[in-house]
Amino acid sequence: MKLSKKSEYGLRALLELTLAHGKMTLQRHQIATRQHIPVEFLEQILLALKRAGLLSSRRGMKGGYALIKSPGEITLGQVIRILDGPLAPIGCVSKTAYQKCRDCPYSEQAQCPVQHVMGSVRDAIAGILDHYTLDDFASGYRKG
Amino acid sequence: MKLSKKSEYGLRALLELTLAHGKMTLQRHQIATRQHIPVEFLEQILLALKRAGLLSSRRGMKGGYALIKSPGEITLGQVIRILDGPLAPIGCVSKTAYQKCRDCPYSEQAQCPVQHVMGSVRDAIAGILDHYTLDDFASGYRKG
DNA sequence: ACAAATCTTGATTAACTCACTCGGAATTAT
DNA sequence: ATAATTCCGAGTGAGTTAATCAAGATTTGT
């Protein structure tokens, strides 16, 4: 039930990029120092987010990263799925990466008790994270 | 965001013990074969649940395990906390095992954005698992 | 053209966790 | 005594996490 450092750093990096959105690009070292993230590790994360289509980047001097989409269109659920994989606590209840559970005596039956409760946990998690956008995420910070 | 095999096996083992509750004790190999769990691994799990006060056991011939409390008093949240640790996705929002996040630029402030959203995720998860008892868990199975 | 700054890619690594596995000691029933 | 069972601690192999490093590609400033 844990969020990885990778996702945590990714979210914090996207927070900075959201605050800068429409105004300027940010370089990895700027993000790294503001959010206390190891710069080489951050790099991997930004690249993954770029490959997933969330960020644009420019190389060379005056290079940097920027959000491609508007912060209102990106949800934390998307981000965490990119960096950490499925939100579901167990493969057999994932909607984005379903995997039949082998070795489970109920896997053939419709009503596996574990599946049932973990399905609601998944829905609860996704219900929050898939409706929580970067805008929502940043607004808590802007106000504070 | 993942449930370990340990917790999954633990829950499935407790399902068997719930079904047997008040009638008989179960031996580890019975639970293991019914639920397709490696028996030596299951042993560790049962021992942990015993140390946590959920199970009683008897050694020697005709030994076995049994639930100590009634299945209506044990929640899945308790079980998962015993076997997997805190439900919270991140230490700084755990209510049973709070840990201040170091390296977070907001750790001193009240309003860390990550903390805010992960707090609601924690509450959503705990809201389900801390109200879902072994009785609820087993009733889905008994009906089916 | 050239140097400096920056992103890009791929490898490598140390520490840790997960999912078991094993050997043997203690306890109980027959 | 013997067999069956739980109890306990240690060990292990594979995989993951969280970085770190080196070298290459691209862009800007001079």
SS3 for B142?
A: helix
Predicted local distance difference test score (pLDDT) of residue B103: 77
B29, B101 in Cβ contact below 8 A? no
* Nucleotides in chain C near protein beta carbons (<7 Å): 4-11, 18-23, 26-30
Q: Give the pLDDT confidence of A108-141 residue by residue, as tens digits.
A: 665 789 999 999 999 999 999 999 999 999 987 6
Alpha-carbon distance of A123 to A133, in angstroms, equals: 17
Angle of the B28-35 helix axis to the B39-51 helix axis, nearest 10:
120
The pTM score is: 0.94
- A126 sits in the region (left: phi over 0; alpha: psi -120 to 50; else beta) called alpha
A34, A114, A139: best to mutate for the B interface, most B CBs within 10 A: A114
| A117/B132 touch (CB, cutoff 8 Å), yes or no | yes
Q: Is the dihedral of CA A77, A78, A81, A82 positive or negative?
A: negative
* Exposed / middle / buried, residue A64 (Cβ in 10 Å: 0-12, 13-18, 19+): buried
Question: Mean pLDDT lowest for which of A90-104, B9-23, B61-75?
Answer: A90-104
pLDDT band with cut points at 50, 70 and 90 for residue B101? confident
Write out the DSSP string of B52-66. TTSEEEE-STT-EEE
